[in-house]
Amino acid sequence: MARAMATSSRSASWTATPEATQSSSRSDAACSLPAAARARASAICGTACGATGPGGAAARAEQLATLGRLAHEALISDEIGELLEGASAESTGSSGDSDESCLLRVVRRDYEKARKVPPALVAEIARAASLGMEVWVQARKESNFALFQPAFQRILDLQRDLAQCLGFEESPYDALLDQYEPGMRKSELVRIFSELKAGLVPILFT
C-alpha cells in the first residue's frame, strides 16, 4: 500500500482545502506544480495543445491549470489521509529504514504540505507559468527582457504567495527550497556558496 500511495502522491500536484484558503493571505493566490506532475500534465495535453498552433497559449494554460487543480485535489483528499493512516498501521514494527517506512514518510510529508495550499494557488501558477513560457519564447527571440518582465513578475508574486502558505521561519525562499532539498535553508546556502567562492575565485583568476 505504501508503494502505491507514493506513486499516487508523486503523480499529483498542489491544490488545497477550505482551511488552507482561509490561512492564505490571498484567496486568489497560486502555487506551482511539482516537476514530475508538471511534466505529466504537459505530456497529457501536449498533442491537443500543439494542434491549436501559436494562438493556443490561453487554451493550453487553462488545460494545465485544470489538470494541476484536479491532481492536487486528489492528493489532499480525506481518502489519501485515511490510506496513510492505514499504511502506517500496517508498517508498525517494521524498520524505520525500510523502503515502506521511507516511502510513507515522504508521502505523508507531501500530503501535509499540500494541504496548506489553496486550490487557487495550483491553478493560477500553472496558468501563469504556461502563459509566461509563451511570452518568454518571443522575448528570447527578440532579446527583449522587458517583454517578459510582467509575466516574470506575476510568477514571482505567486511563488511568494506559495511560500506564505507553506510557512517558513527565516526566509520565504526556505519554504520553496524545502520542496527540493528538505531541511535546507537560504542561510545555509549562502554559507556554502561563500566558502566555494573563496576557494574557486583564486583558482579561476590566477
pLDDT for position 9: 44
pLDDT for position 36: 52
pLDDT greater than 80 at residue 5 = no
Whole-model pTM: value is 0.67
The predicted-structure confidence for 120-160, as pLDDT tens digits, reads as follows 899 999 999 999 999 999 999 999 999 999 999 999 999 99
Mean pLDDT of the chain: 79
- What one-character-per-residue DSSP string does the chain give? -HHHHHHHHHH------HHHHHHSS-TT---PPPHHHHHHHHHHHHHHHHTT-GGGHHHHHHHHHHHHHHHHHHHTSHHHHHHHHHHHHHTTTS-TTSHHHHHHHHHHHHHHHHTTS-HHHHHHHHHHHHHHHHHHHHHHHHT-HHHHHHHHHHHHHHHHHHHHHH--SS-HHHHHHTTTSTT--HHHHHHHHHHHHHHHHHHHT-
